[in-house]
Amino acid sequence: MPDHSRTEVVDAPPATVFAILDDVTRAPEWLKRCTQLDNVTGGPTAVGTRLRYHYKDGGRTGVMDGEVVAREQDRTLTNHFVDKMMEVTVDFDVQPGPSASQTRLTHTITIRTKGFGKALTPLINRQLPAQTESAMTELKRLAESEATSA
């Protein structure tokens, strides 16, 4: 089962970092594969909120249905997505950083392949670290930019 975790210290307070993660419309800003993330349920994000993740991977596009499975304001956000080939858990742990104006952000992705998707496991294992690191680099850039302009 492919999974990868990355931790970064972000020069922005936890509330700023969490606000970016919690706003599903902003996912394409920091996640390259994401073309759109919808809150299907509507209203504020909460445990049980249904999500729809639209992505483009190379020439292939797809949609995964998901939901928020854990959420604690300014601390934790975990989403779980499913399609016919995979189950993907996307977790963010937001902790106070070394200083009051910093955040220690840990991003973990766990993928369980199924059916035909099992054939993709070696490729996913190779690509997942770079995808996770790219997402963290963009999240850090966004949060630090917003903290500086606030």
What is the Cα–Cα distance from 16 to 82, expressed in whole angstroms? 28
**What is the strand order of the sheet 3-10 is part of?**
3-10, 103-113, 86-96, 76-82, 60-72, 50-57, 34-39
Higher pLDDT, 124 or 17: 17
At 77-126, the pLDDT tens digits run: 999 999 998 999 999 999 999 998 999 999 999 999 898 778 878 877 88
| Domain definitions of the chain by residue range | 3-149
Rounded CA separation 89/96 (Å): 23
Kindly report the pTM of this predicted structure: 0.93
User: Which of 2.40.110.10, 3.30.530.20, 3.30.565.10, 1.10.530.10 is the CATH number of 3-149?
Assistant: 3.30.530.20
